[in-house]
Structure 1
Amino acid sequence: MRLRLALTVVLSAATLTAALQASAAGHAAAAGRAGAAAPFNHPGVLVSRAQLDFVGANLGNEPWKSAWSALRAHSFASLSYTPKPRAVVECGPSSNPNHGCSDERNDAMAAYAHALQWYLTKDDRHAKKAVQIMDAWSAVISSHTGHNAPLQTGWSGASFSRAAELIKHTYGGWSNAGRFATALREVYLPTVVNGSANTNGNWELIMTDAAIGIAVFLDDRASFDKAVQLWRNRLPAYVYLKTDGAYPKSRPGSKYDTRDEIIGYWHGQTTFVDGLAQETCRDFGHTGWGIAAAAHVAETARHQGLDLYAEGKDRLRHAMGFHAGLQLGEPVPSWLCGGSVTPGLGPTFEVGYNALHKRMGIGMSRTQRLVEQGRPAGVSHFLGWETLTHAENPH
């Protein structure tokens, strides 16, 4: 009798445990289905349908009119543009050797130029040209090699993902879209999605720009989340705020984690103020790329319902304002970079400025002067026609 009762208790406990485990598994599966069911918004890599519809309604007005004319006049926008694909792109330091590096960057930006023209004119010749360029690359590309391979993959992957996203979701005639997706998934994404903890920060931010764009195009939630974490790790380690403490934060996982190592990593700078960047004392060209890429990531995330601007607005606004002032000719203080900086920001702040000033209402007088003086923003590596797509854009 006692044995039967004991067995009954054990079996009841086992039954209860199994039931609880089944219930937990059911909740986990349901949660997984709910997470998986949250769709990406398409098109939603750097530009959205609402943004481009706003642009289309304003092509006869400034500053979009001049920006549109500049795009249309560019060699990348020509219907006679011919891609130059290759299987292996080899890029050394500063793209030397340059075996396909410039060709790939140019072709990716040309694909984006034609995708924009397709959307804004509905002339399907531009959609077909964008498809021709992307198909040419997806047919052969197998790897990126050399010192600059991660950065090259970031530059090209960022532009290719924007072009592919627009064509896939607004044009119905891309039969090889799956092959291009495979190229992005197997050749580009693995190189950029894990970041670059110990290089200058513009590398990792540009790679993250590409990673988040590719993730959206592929509907890859795990890679999207990894890109967001890369951004959250890197931006606080790239742009300093006084609230960080006596010296800048170290990027998690970086080998630069002591005070002296961080100062060396920040190119010898020992005095830190709001908006100073890890590459300020290197040159403004690379710094501008880093800031622009950080804004790109936040812009794409915003299209997907994640407000990274809310997290990064203070770093971004101070970084843009600090460098814009010096680029405009403000005196360089003696404590900054030994009293001398290397200007040359390029067309870098349009996206971030529009997000923070136009949409969030943050006053940014120095950034505004620099952005407006530089309009229409041109093309550089992974930056293309951002006055056209983002100037004064409320969406």
Structure 2
Amino acid sequence: MNNMNRKLSIISFLLLVVLIPLCSLAQPFVHPGVDQSAKDLAYMKGQVLKGAQPWKGAFDRLKAATDTAFTAVPFAHVLRGPYGKPNIGGNDLSKSAAMAYNYAIVWYITGDKTYANRAIGILDAWTPVLWHFDYNDAKLLAAWTGHALCNAAEILRYTNAGWKQESVGRFKSMLMDVYYPLLRFYYPQANGNWDGAIIHSIMAMGIFLDNRAMFDNAVDHFLHAPVNGSLFKYIYPSGQCQESTRDQGHVQLGLGEFAGAAQIAFTQGVDLFSIGGYRLAMGYEYTARFLLGEKPHCYGVISERAKELRDDYEYVYQHHKAINISLPYTERAADSVRSKASRSVLTAVRAPNGVTPTKGKTPIPDKTGYIAGATKAPVIPADAVLVAPGQSIQQALDEAAGSGRWVVAKAGIHTLPATLKIPSGVVLAGEGIATVLFLDPASGARETMVNGSDDLHDVTIRDLVIEGAASTTVPSDPNSGRSYRGGYNRGGILFRAQREGQMKHIRLENLTVRNCTYNGVFINGAAGIDIISCDLNENGVSVPPGQKLLHNLLLTHCSQVTVQNCRLATSPLGAGVALEACDSALISGCEIARNGYYGVLITESRGVTVSSNLVEANDRSGVMVEFLYKGSSAITITDNRVQFNAGYGVESYGATNCLSTQNRYSHNGHGKEQQKISAAKTILME
């Protein structure tokens, strides 16, 4: 992507405000300055020495742990497989890193060099020996241990602990020869807790090494990483997390790692807590709420596995309490584990800054396009044709054709022996999220449903799920079954006419289409399309005709289009919604997020309005109006919240009368330019 010489067409005062928290990236590092600054450490020590609680109790527990016998046993090659099998040296390194940090804290508080020498001994034992990490969890283990080692090293280095310069040099060498080469490319294809941990450690390493580029790179990855790697890929606008359907242990691990990275950044004056409307806090609130007995809405089935509260809440709670931000569920979670916690309570201490907090508030999850897709059963007409799983939906549709009657697929999995051919004049409905249409892979067909005739008209499909995956069984780790890993070629809905306007009056409502490698929904040549409150998610990969051509929603040669209150998210290699050669379309009130290409892609179209959407965390620009031959015209992009996209917020080339106004931008791309509206007839090439 060409990021050079980009000009900002429209800047609002709000844009300038939201960029301020990252301006401190240009400032020198403060030392010590990983989890806490010198002022923070001094304040923490003072609280412990005067016997203030809960810090004195936490210190007593920490000191008791450090007073037990421990000897570091270094390994040249540390091996850790999935879930710790095999595990050669992994536990030894993890324990060593934790104990080094523990000893450093106790040394700082007590001034007893016995503890400093123990911490130094651990670092000096590993630095000349460790050469290599290997096996499945190599990156993860390095990421887990790197920030703890750097915290210990930072305290020792800047508190007259007696750590010799040659030892400091060997530690630096280990970071750059062993840790950084392994971590520098991140691993966003894994579940997001991996990159959260990697970001956490690279930030810590950047500070210890006084390497600003390393630190800045980790901040950028925190904001803009692909797949599962950024905060906004990991925590959705509702607070649901990428791993919420996996298990709560991994969710809390991921939250803790992203919070750890934000804590380090805050020490250096970079505020990653408040961004996205306190997105990190919303992830904590959503998860704590579930662990404390409530059940928030979840796209997918929220996992009941590993529901024990971890010791990951203290710092987040204390940080927000200090600025008068109320996190009631996070507070309850922190309160419930504090009596057994030690280092986490001490390292959560920040020195008072003397600033009176503003009026308190609780972060509110974003409700744009929420809740979309199949949820509960609709009110079913008395004359509806009911079809139980195992019965023929196709036969029922054919019998109801032209009558306007409802054909209702009852709750359950309907395995289709062949692609459904939808006739005109029918409503195909389900009983909400419990009705799943699944095309039998043995059929050899690609689409779940197609138009039964070229002049399809007056059709509604609503309140059901179209499952595009090769199986309806969700793996224990859903990330392992994502569509881009599947090796199959399956689509959702394909309605294709022979000329523009041949199909008429098509409505999709409360529909979920997911996990298709082809398009989720592809409509060509229709007039009068309403797509309302649909959840099109994880569709569009790299099967023929190839990546960037397949999307969650693709509309070509269509007119009089409304896409409203939908969730158009997480296409691995496509856009949330793509319009090609369309006339008169409104995209409004939608969540268009986490897509591997653009959020909204408009090509050679006219009369398109993109309004009041949340467009975030897409891997290219949030909204792209591209030029190919004639260009688009009469494009209005207004009143959208466009944030954390890796490209521009809005980008346009060669469009006539392209108006982009009153959009609220935040942290798009890698510079201050948030928008590019160019009259040049530029064809973008890869």
TM-score (norm 1): 0.77
Residues 312 and 348 (structure 1), Cα distance of their counterparts in 2 relative to 1, 3 Å cut: farther
Q: Report the alpha carbon displacement of residue 376 of structure 1 after superposing the two structures with TM.
A: 3.8
| Equivalent pair of 1:46/1:300 in contact (CA under 8 Å) | yes
Partner of 1:72: 63
**Aligned-partner Cα distance in 2 for 1:94–1:114:** 28
Partner of 1:63: 54
Q: Report the alpha carbon displacement of residue 325 of structure 1 after superposing the two structures with TM.
A: 1.3
Partner of 1:156: 145
Match of 2:337 among 365, 368, 374: 374
**Aligned-partner Cα distance in 1 for 2:243–2:302:** 15
Partner of 2:265: 301
Q: Report the alpha carbon displacement of residue 79 of structure 1 after superposing the two structures with TM.
A: 6.8
| Equivalent pair of 1:79/1:129 in contact (CA under 8 Å) | no
**Aligned-partner Cα distance in 2 for 1:95–1:307:** 34
Q: Which has the higher helix share?
A: 1
1:168 aligns with 2:157: yes
Residues 334 and 173 (structure 1), Cα distance of their counterparts in 2 relative to 1, 3 Å cut: closer
SS of the counterpart of 1:47?
Answer: coil
**Aligned-partner Cα distance in 1 for 2:206–2:304:** 36
SS of the counterpart of 1:132?
Answer: helix
Partner of 1:42: 31
**Aligned-partner Cα distance in 2 for 1:132–1:80:** 13
Q: Report the alpha carbon displacement of residue 206 of structure 1 after superposing the two structures with TM.
A: 0.5
**Aligned-partner Cα distance in 1 for 2:269–2:262:** 10
Residues 293 and 36 (structure 1), Cα distance of their counterparts in 2 relative to 1, 3 Å cut: closer
1:320 aligns with 2:257: no
Residue type of the partner of 1:369? R
Partner of 1:254: none
| Equivalent pair of 2:100/2:123 in contact (CA under 8 Å) | yes
**Aligned-partner Cα distance in 2 for 1:282–1:126:** 40
Tell which structure's C-alpha radius of gyration is larger: 2
Gaps of 5+ in 1: 1-34, 242-273, 379-383
Residues 392 and 43 (structure 1), Cα distance of their counterparts in 2 relative to 1, 3 Å cut: closer
Match of 2:182 among 171, 191, 197: 191
**Aligned-partner Cα distance in 1 for 2:47–2:150:** 25
1:354 aligns with 2:312: no
Q: Report the alpha carbon displacement of residue 107 of structure 1 after superposing the two structures with TM.
A: 0.3
Partner of 2:81: 92
**Aligned-partner Cα distance in 1 for 2:154–2:331:** 30
| Equivalent pair of 1:91/1:147 in contact (CA under 8 Å) | yes
Q: In the TM superposition, what are the counterparts of 1:122-133 in structure 2 within 5 Å?
A: 122-133=111-122
| Equivalent pair of 2:246/2:303 in contact (CA under 8 Å) | no
Partner of 1:6: none
Partner of 2:21: none
Q: Report the alpha carbon displacement of residue 345 of structure 1 after superposing the two structures with TM.
A: 3.6
Partner of 1:389: 347
SS of the counterpart of 1:127?
Answer: helix
| Equivalent pair of 1:89/1:101 in contact (CA under 8 Å) | yes
Residue type of the partner of 1:112? Y
Structure with the greater relative contact order (CA < 8 A, sep ≥ 6): 1 or 2? 1
**Aligned-partner Cα distance in 1 for 2:144–2:40:** 23
Residue type of the partner of 2:344? E
Match of 1:338 among 301, 322, 330: 301
Partner of 1:3: none
Q: Report the alpha carbon displacement of residue 335 of structure 1 after superposing the two structures with TM.
A: 5.4
TM-superposition CA deviations, 1:99-121 (whole Å, max 9, x none): 00011000001000010011111
**Aligned-partner Cα distance in 1 for 2:120–2:77:** 21
**Aligned-partner Cα distance in 2 for 1:352–1:184:** 28
Q: Report the alpha carbon displacement of residue 39 of structure 1 after superposing the two structures with TM.
A: 2.2
Residue type of the partner of 2:248? F
SS of the counterpart of 2:222?
Answer: helix
| Equivalent pair of 1:376/1:385 in contact (CA under 8 Å) | no
User: Aligned residues: percent identity?
Assistant: 34
**Aligned-partner Cα distance in 2 for 1:394–1:194:** 37
Partner of 1:216: 207
TM-superposition CA deviations, 1:264-309 (whole Å, max 9, x none): xxxxxxxxxx110000111111111111111111111121122222
Q: In the TM superposition, what are the counterparts of 1:243-262 in structure 2 within 5 Å?
A: none
**Aligned-partner Cα distance in 1 for 2:104–2:155:** 6
| Equivalent pair of 2:43/2:350 in contact (CA under 8 Å) | no
Residues 340 and 195 (structure 1), Cα distance of their counterparts in 2 relative to 1, 3 Å cut: closer
Partner of 2:507: none
**Aligned-partner Cα distance in 1 for 2:36–2:280:** 19
1:143 aligns with 2:132: yes
**Aligned-partner Cα distance in 2 for 1:282–1:393:** 37
Residue type of the partner of 2:278? D
**Aligned-partner Cα distance in 2 for 1:185–1:169:** 20
Q: Which has the higher strand share?
A: 2
**Aligned-partner Cα distance in 1 for 2:134–2:81:** 8
Q: Report the alpha carbon displacement of residue 52 of structure 1 after superposing the two structures with TM.
A: 1.6
**Aligned-partner Cα distance in 2 for 1:334–1:232:** 25
| Equivalent pair of 1:377/1:385 in contact (CA under 8 Å) | no
SS of the counterpart of 2:57?
Answer: helix
Gaps of 5+ in 2: 1-23, 225-229, 354-686
TM-superposition CA deviations, 1:300-337 (whole Å, max 9, x none): 1121122222325521121111111111122x368565
**Aligned-partner Cα distance in 1 for 2:246–2:274:** 28
Residues 71 and 121 (structure 1), Cα distance of their counterparts in 2 relative to 1, 3 Å cut: same
Q: In the TM superposition, what are the counterparts of 1:274-313 in structure 2 within 5 Å?
A: 274-312=238-276
| Equivalent pair of 1:377/1:387 in contact (CA under 8 Å) | no
| Equivalent pair of 1:193/1:226 in contact (CA under 8 Å) | no
**Aligned-partner Cα distance in 2 for 1:229–1:137:** 30
Residues 95 and 110 (structure 1), Cα distance of their counterparts in 2 relative to 1, 3 Å cut: same
Q: Report the alpha carbon displacement of residue 171 of structure 1 after superposing the two structures with TM.
A: 2.2
Residue type of the partner of 2:115? H
| Equivalent pair of 1:51/1:390 in contact (CA under 8 Å) | no
Q: Report the alpha carbon displacement of residue 341 of structure 1 after superposing the two structures with TM.
A: 2.2
| Equivalent pair of 1:71/1:113 in contact (CA under 8 Å) | yes
TM-superposition CA deviations, 1:80-114 (whole Å, max 9, x none): 42101110000100111010001100000100001
1:111 aligns with 2:100: yes
**Aligned-partner Cα distance in 1 for 2:32–2:285:** 31
TM-superposition CA deviations, 1:31-52 (whole Å, max 9, x none): xxxx999421001111222222
1:230 aligns with 2:226: no
Residues 124 and 197 (structure 1), Cα distance of their counterparts in 2 relative to 1, 3 Å cut: same
| Equivalent pair of 2:284/2:330 in contact (CA under 8 Å) | yes
